Chains A and B, each alone.
Chain A
């Protein structure tokens, strides 16, 4: 292929990428303008928080626990070289609240709840359920998608908090119970070193941003997919790939802004 051909291909891909970004931004606008449903029918949102959040609990808790175990082990071996193993609690807590909690939760969320949302919306589209709603004068964006969007955005920080909490307990179990670090030192170092605003709040902000990104991508993929089994399957795959990449990219940007 000639240089001009490459440039042409690059231009086309850039243009199509910008078109998709524009469509996602418009889709986000359409969802935000319909979030008033939370006031009129809060039960729809509560149902989604339950569906998205509660059903993701097992994977979040188990993953958080094992991440905490590994952090405890790895942290101890590193800190031990410098005789600073009492700082294990601080290391585990900072790692989880600032980075691992929001990021790993969002990646798991994309795989568990994101794919479920995409498949659900895609299958509703394939089964003409969304078209049926439109013809019944029911706006599917307001009735179906907006509650799911809010449910995802609300569930994500709660899940990230649970992940971090369970992870800290995992780190405590390995460090204090198995290895024998002083329990008072473990907790007091954490208490002194973790700042509510700089560390915890920034972690919460991150998880809210990831919640918006992953839920938005999942719903957009379901809404835009071809209403066929193959179309739904591809959209589900795209949700995981695009959702995970968006989380990692946004994490870099947010970390640079918050902790630089």
Chain B
């Protein structure tokens, strides 16, 4: 699918009625600590979007807001055209049924084997026949190269294999919007390439939007249509991989080239909670 962005480096994107996911001037945080401010972005079907940034920059927080796990401090989040601000529990369930999420640490069910983990979302929602479940699960496991591991328990597979099982579980119901939280972490180079191509292929075949939350520049730039770069509590840049690769912006350059010096903050930001802790300990910040 052709990218919809031309490499513009602005801090907001106009809301779009056809977007699967849109964040409009959203501020996100935990308690009185703000992680990201005034964030706006839109994601359309068929797009592969890479959400990049340093550790603790708020990438996963964006996913938590988009899946309804975290209410924004201000602004609105729309998923499939529905605002999550005042959505009912049933409405949120309906929205979530159209999503898939690959968790950072897999979040596989340890009491189930590989097959049952992938079959879990199918069994829970309008279950098809057992034969259909078996077909679908084995096909999906085949796509991630783990067909022959279907019988294994979660404790018997490696960390990389567990991520591939989690990937299979995230896409088995052919969702319209899929979040991949660090999909390449812990994968060997071959699995990484296969996983990246699988994500791209799924997006193209199913027409679903894929949101990659990742640090991995090489793999993400190879398959992404759009890259968003967050840091220092805001959206720093967005555009096509090519436009970002050509960027002269010091923040973008430092992040992409992995330079130790530059505007990308290495230190964790001071939070009100830290200040209170210092006060209690009698420490001078």
Chain A residues with CB under 8 A of B97: 137
Chain A residues with CB under 8 A of B120: 136, 138
Chain B residues with CB under 8 A of A139: 93
Query: Which B57-103 residues have C-beta < 8 A from chain A?
Result: 67, 69, 93-94, 96-97, 99, 101, 103
B257 within 8 A of A: no
B129 within 8 A of A: no
Cα(A138)–Cα(B121), bound, Å: 8
A62 within 8 A of B: no
Interface size on B, as a range, is: 10 to 19
How near does chain B come to A215, taking the closest CB pair, in angstroms?
19
Cα(A143)–Cα(B124), bound, Å: 9
Cα(A135)–Cα(B104), bound, Å: 13
| A6-14, A20-28, A85-93, A123-131 - interface stretch | A123-131
Does B121 lie within 8 Å of A136, measured CB to CB? yes
Query: Which B120-151 residues have C-beta < 8 A from chain A?
Result: 120-121, 124-125
Interface size, chain A (Cβ < 8 Å): 13
Does A137 lie within 8 Å of B93, measured CB to CB? yes
Does B125 lie within 8 Å of A132, measured CB to CB? no
How near does chain B come to A184, taking the closest CB pair, in angstroms?
51
B259 within 8 A of A: no
Chain B residues with CB under 8 A of A132: 101, 103, 107
B248 within 8 A of A: no
Chain A residues with CB under 8 A of B67: 135
Cα(A180)–Cα(B109), bound, Å: 56
Cα(A126)–Cα(B104), bound, Å: 13
- Given A123, A136, A143, which contacts B101 in the complex, CB threshold below 8 Å? A136
Chain A residues with CB under 8 A of B69: 131, 134-135
Cα(A137)–Cα(B122), bound, Å: 11
Cα(A143)–Cα(B125), bound, Å: 12
Cα(A135)–Cα(B105), bound, Å: 15
Cα(A127)–Cα(B105), bound, Å: 8
Does B125 lie within 8 Å of A128, measured CB to CB? no
Does A135 lie within 8 Å of B124, measured CB to CB? no
Chain B residues with CB under 8 A of A135: 67, 69, 96, 99, 101
The verdict on A138 contacting B107 (CB below 8 Å), with A131-B69, A132-B101 known, is no
Cα(A20)–Cα(B96), bound, Å: 31
Chain A residues with CB under 8 A of B104: 128
Does B109 lie within 8 Å of A129, measured CB to CB? yes
Query: Which B176-229 residues have C-beta < 8 A from chain A?
Result: none
How near does chain B come to A122, taking the closest CB pair, in angstroms?
13
How near does chain B come to A212, taking the closest CB pair, in angstroms?
25
The verdict on A137 contacting B96 (CB below 8 Å), with A127-B110, A131-B69 known, is yes
Chain A residues with CB under 8 A of B105: 127-128
Chain A residues with CB under 8 A of B99: 135
How near does chain A come to B134, taking the closest CB pair, in angstroms?
18
Does B96 lie within 8 Å of A131, measured CB to CB? no
Q: B residues within 8 Å of A by Cβ?
A: 67, 69, 93-94, 96-97, 99, 101, 103-105, 107-110, 120-121, 124-125
Nearest 5 pairs between A and B by C-beta? Answer: A132-B107, A137-B96, A128-B107, A137-B97, A137-B93
Q: A residues within 8 Å of B by Cβ?
A: 123, 127-129, 131-132, 134-139, 143
A-B contact pairs, 5 of them (CB 8 A): A129-B110, A131-B103, A137-B93, A137-B124, A137-B125
Known: A127-B107, A131-B107; 15 extra A-B contacts, CB below 8 A, are A127-B110, A129-B107, A129-B108, A129-B109, A132-B101, A134-B69, A134-B96, A135-B69, A136-B124, A137-B93, A137-B94, A137-B96, A137-B124, A138-B124, A143-B124
